[in-house]
Amino acid sequence: MVQTRLGDGSTIEMTEEEIKADIERGIEDAVDRAKVDPLSEDEIEKLTDIYTRPSKFVSVETGNELVLTFDEGSVKLKRLAVSIGRIPDLQIYERVFCSDTAELAHVDYSFKPVKPIVAEEQIEMEQALLSTVLPIYYGAMPNLSLYSQPDGAFPNPAELLPKGKIKEAREAYEGMMEHAIKDMVYVGSKMYEAGADGINFDTTGSAGEPDFLATLKATEKLKEKYPDISIEMGMSGEFVLGMHGDLEYDGTNLAGLYPHQQVKMAEKAGVDVFGPVVNINSSETIPWNIGRTVTMMKACAEASDIPVHANVGMGVGGVPIVETPPVDSLSRASAALAEIGKQDGL
């Protein structure tokens, strides 16, 4: 028997045959939902090997190491109740965690609340850049929901839709998008001018396809203004939730797109690094979850002409929904995504 986990983090024991069968079921689910190719028999064997090794920690063969990009880095250690400022936090990412890039972020972590304090953020960015050598992004979430009531000026589509007010909900989304684009471009411009190497749009699409479209348009505008700016786009879910239902980018309806389709939209807008998400089902086993995760992530990497860095952490990328991911699951998911999922980074 081999020790593995459920998606909720609890430990379970399975035979090697059961693990392989669950990986295959997960692959079938990914193929069925995302309409992508399944993994080959060799890849299934390799994935089964990674998930049946008795080692607590699994790594990759030399030469298969990946770039490590951390989002929301300057906030995460503080969440663990470590008394630390944002700049020492970034230094730890650079010098202790060996991160290849880091991200300065504000605890509110959305572009809208950063707007009135952007001058303070510029100072922090300048000082961070003077005391580190790794590329530093400034990151926040587009968070379109902040533009509707009670937080914003527009009527709340989540309240309008159940009342059947579809036209009004769509108009609200369209207004919210315009405001969000302005804020993303404003904050992005200010932080780039303060020296940031790039901007990370994190958790894109959390309010559905209007959120995704606003971010694509903000990317276009920033790229037009600053051709050398690096834009990273991390997604919020494995498919783009259709909240408006009728929004297109480059002739493609954005609702319902899976990672291998999302990345083409991101590329078109000018994104430099794409961070796909595949969600965890907490009631299924980790072998089932990793089967579907690797299948969708591999399809995304193969479709992409830009670097793809899978989101791997609490509840995404084959990692259980627990605040501090267990090393057995995290290391296995990382190895699987590097060696089978064809990712450029994590």
Partner 1 sequence: MSNELFEKAADAICDADVERAEELAQIALDEGIAPLEMIEKGYTAGINEVGRLFDRGELFLPQLMGCAEAMKSATAILKEAAAEQGSESEESIKVVLGTVQGDVHDIGKGIVASILEANGIEVHDLGTDVAVEDFIETAKEVDADIIGTSALLTTTMGVSEELLKTLDEEDLRGEFKVMVGGGPVTKRWADKIGADGYAENANEAVSKIKELVD
Looking at this protein, which amino acid is placed at residue 59? S
CB 89 within 8 A of CB 122: no
CB 269 within 8 A of CB 251: no
- Stretches 5-13, 67-75, 101-109, 134-142: which one binds partner 1 (CB under 8 A)? 5-13
Give the integer Cα–Cα distance in Å for 303 and 232.
17
Query: Please, what sign has the CA dihedral across residues 67, 226, 259, 325?
Result: positive
- Stretches 57-65, 134-142, 150-158, 291-299: which one binds partner 1 (CB under 8 A)? 150-158
Give the tokens for residue 211: 């959120």
Q: Is 314 a residue that touches partner 1 (CB under 8 A)?
A: yes
Nearest to partner 1 of 52, 145 (CB atom): 145
Least Cβ distance, residue 245 to partner 1 (angstroms): 4
CB 303 within 8 A of CB 38: no
Q: Is 283 a residue that touches partner 1 (CB under 8 A)?
A: yes
Which of 156, 189, 302, 342 is close enough to bind partner 1 by CB under 8 A?
156
Write out the binding residues for partner 1, residues 79-108 only, by CB under 8 A. Answer: none
Among 148, 140, 220, 139, which Cα is nearest to 177's? 148
Q: Is 258 a residue that touches partner 1 (CB under 8 A)?
A: yes
- Rg of the chain over Cα atoms, rounded to whole angstroms, equals 20
Give the tokens for residue 270: 């000018």
Least Cβ distance, residue 48 to partner 1 (angstroms): 25
Least Cβ distance, residue 281 to partner 1 (angstroms): 6
Q: Is 189 a residue that touches partner 1 (CB under 8 A)?
A: no
Place of tokens 């894109």: 204
Nearest to partner 1 of 108, 159 (CB atom): 159
By rule CB under 8 A, what string of x and - marks binding of each residue 65-84 to partner 1? --------------------
- Stretches 87-95, 184-192, 219-227, 275-283: which one binds partner 1 (CB under 8 A)? 275-283
**Crossing angle between the packed helical segments 166-193 and 209-225, to the nearest 10 degrees:** 30
Q: Is 169 a residue that touches partner 1 (CB under 8 A)?
A: yes
Least Cβ distance, residue 143 to partner 1 (angstroms): 11
User: In Å, what is the CA distance from 56 to each residue of 64, 236, 238?
Assistant: 20, 29, 28
Give the integer Cα–Cα distance in Å for 335 and 59.
6
Q: Is 166 a residue that touches partner 1 (CB under 8 A)?
A: yes
Which residue(s) pair with 234 in the sheet? 275
Least Cβ distance, residue 156 to partner 1 (angstroms): 7
Residues that bind partner 1 (CB under 8 A): 6-10, 33, 145, 150-151, 156, 158-159, 161-162, 164, 166, 169-170, 206-208, 239-246, 255-258, 281-283, 314-315, 321, 323
